Amino acid sequence: MSADSSSLEMVQHEPNHHTIQVDSDEKESWSIKGSCSIHRVPNCLRQGGKNAYVPQIVSIGPFHHSNKTLQAMNNNKNNYLRDVISWTQNNGRYSHKEILDRYLDAVKSVEKKARACYSETIYPNSNTFAEMMVIDGCFIIALLCKVAGLITVHKDDPIFNMVWLWSKLQNDLLMFENQIPFIILQRLFDLMKVLGGHDCPSLTRLALDFFEGLVPKIETATKENPNIKPKHLLHLFHSSLLPTPKEYKPTKLNQREANDFNLIKSTKALKKAGIKFKKAEAADSFFDVKFKAGTMEIPTIVIGESTNSVFLNLIAFEQCYSACTDHFTDYTAFMNCLINSAIDVGTLCESGIIVNWLGRDHEVANLFKMLAKTSTVSTNEFYLSDVFWEINQHRQTTYGACMESLKRFYFNSFWSIFPFGAAIILLVLTFLQTIFTMHAYYHPPS
């Protein structure tokens, strides 16, 4: 398919085959390029399982394009391409071929920038690269527009008729290796709006609405971050969950502070030190953790089936892309500190901090242990460093240390309460006896 070929005929006459063929030997190994925004996930980060990074339903972009298990979605890609072309036609003002050629030209106008987003050299042939970007980009845009009601959904569309397919598709579009540059999507979308004369929400808003069901929190919705120009859908999702600039003031520790950085204890140990746990009300971001007056306030987070995949890909993105904050990496380390066992999860659930859709508490504990293994925390830019310092200071205070020692030595078991209580009662009786004796001495009965 090229700009001067009968591309639409290929789409119409070969609905069960993708219009782009890719040689398997074009696939390259992972390489280190921190400035690039789309990488293969390195093996050292794959401890959470390879399936967390490999799409299950649809391939987007070059890394999984030749995966034969994903070819079944190609027919839907072709159908969605037709739908989005029809949406752009503006009542027949442009032919299908004219619109398709314009799509290809739009992609080629930003081809150099798009290629620079990948950490590997991909698709040396310009036409092949542009064709893949048009088909995958139009599939994404058509999907977002169908969800928003801008493009009609056909009654036999399997994506909208199968719940399991829908949830898997959402996960696939947030996989780090399954991305195309946002600049491609934006170019295509802008062209569609201009040619079609459409007045509709921004592309970022459409994308965030599409992913709303995967947001790992309850109280607040995703929001557009005007300070960040997204590199791809995963980056957009990442930035939408970050706290606003007024709430997030990054603390960069000096070398001495970084060396003295200490982790916090588990929820069980902190409770023994007199620290309370409370669900943060009306938090703008689930990262907004605070510690004040001996109480840790943590926004609610929902742990469900998609949490593992979503978090792993967000963490992989943070670990590989140098120009973004490490909020998910840091938050995962924080939760891993709090959670050592199912008992800790139970405490956080009772406080309303965790909503467990996985079922058993130990599954949540295992989840955060596994997530923590895939990431490396930078202690000198840890966004919760102030909170950690305040908690550790509280535990070292006289009151905190005394309460912890008292509970550890006198209330470490149920039966130990009785002798301690008996000692208190004896002390009170002795004190009362002394008072009565002194009263009788100084005020004898007449």
Shared domain check, 337 and 268:
yes
Domain assignment present for residue 211? The answer is: yes
Q: Is residue 446 included in any domain, yes or no?
A: yes
Same domain for 204 and 132: yes
Res 21 pLDDT > 80: no
Model confidence at 213: pLDDT above 60 = yes
- Stretch among 40-49, 288-297, 337-346, 412-421 having the lowest mean pLDDT: 412-421
Are both 261 and 223 inside the same structural domain? no
Q: What is the pLDDT of residue 215?
A: 63
Higher pLDDT, 43 or 261: 43
pTM metric for this prediction: 0.82
Percentage of the chain exceeding pLDDT 90: 60
User: Which tens digits make up the pLDDT trace of 285-322?
Assistant: 889 999 999 999 999 999 998 899 999 999 999 999 98
Same domain, 61 and 194: yes
More confident residue, 220 or 211: 211
- Whether 407 maps to a domain, the answer reads no
Q: 382 near 340, Cβ under 8 Å?
A: no
Q: Residue 15: pLDDT above 80? A: no
Task: Look at residue 109 and tell me whether its pLDDT is greater than 60.
Answer: yes
Query: What pLDDT sits at residue 402?
Result: 61
Question: Would you give the DSSP letter of residue 153?
Answer: P
Q: Are residues 194 and 93 in the same domain?
A: yes
Q: Would you say residue 374 has pLDDT above 80?
A: yes
Q: What pLDDT digit, counting tens, does each position of 429-439 carry? A: 787 777 777 76
Mark which of 190, 210, 240 sits at the end of a domain. Answer: 240
pLDDT at 269 over 60: yes
Read off the pLDDT of residues 141-157 as tens digits, 9 standing for 90 and up.
999 999 999 999 999 99
Question: Distance between CA atoms of 96 and 82, rounded to whole angstroms?
Answer: 8
Q: How confident is the model at residue 9 (pLDDT cuts 50, 70, 90)?
A: very low
Q: Which two tokens stand for residue 158?
A: 């399997």
Kindly tell me the burial class for residue 111, based on how many C-beta atoms sit within 10 Å of its own C-beta (0-12, 13-18, 19 or more).
middle
Q: Cα(385)–Cα(248) distance, rounded to whole angstroms?
A: 12
Model confidence band, residue 29 (pLDDT cutoffs 50, 70, 90) = very low
pLDDT at 273 over 80: yes
Two tokens at 420?
Answer: 């301690």
Give 167-205 pLDDT, tens digit per residue: 899 999 999 999 999 999 999 999 999 999 999 999 999
The structural domain count of the chain equals: 3
Given this model, what pLDDT does residue 419 score? Answer: 67
pLDDT at 376: 86
Q: β-pairing, 276-279 with 295-298? A: parallel
Three-state SS for 363? helix
**19 inside domain:** yes
pLDDT (mean) for 59-81: 95
Between 409 and 121, residue with greater pLDDT: 121
Distance CA 280, CA 45 (A): 32
* Whether residue 387 sits in one domain with residue 435: no
Domain boundary among 213, 240, 267: 240
Residue 408 lies in a domain: no
- Asked if the structure places residue 2 within a domain, the reply is no
Q: What's the pLDDT at 363?
A: 96
Q: Answer yes or no: do 198 and 271 share one domain.
A: no
Whether 232 and 268 share a structural domain? no
Same-domain pairing of 187 and 299? no
At residue 28, the pLDDT reads 41
What's the mean pLDDT in 49-78? 93
CB 200 within 8 A of CB 148: yes
Residue 301: phi and psi, rounded to 5, are -130, 135
Do 224 and 272 lie in one domain? The reply is no
pLDDT for the residue numbered 220: 53
**Statement to judge: residues 187 and 269 lie in one domain:** no
Look up residue 329 and give its two tokens. 């990496």
Across 215-224, 241-250, 358-367, the highest mean pLDDT is recorded for 358-367
Q: Mean pLDDT throughout 108-130?
A: 92
SS3 helix, strand, coil % of the chain, rounded to 5? 55, 5, 40
Quote the pLDDT of residue 443: 66
Residue 381 confidence (pLDDT): 84
15 and 73 part of one domain: yes
How do strand 354-356 and strand 301-303 relate by DSSP bridges?
parallel
Q: What is the pLDDT of residue 327?
A: 94
Determine the structural domain holding residue 310 and report its residue range. 255-399
pLDDT of residue 203: 96
Q: Provide the mean pLDDT of the chain.
A: 83
Asked if residue 191 belongs to a domain, the reply is: yes
Q: Is residue 248 part of a domain?
A: no
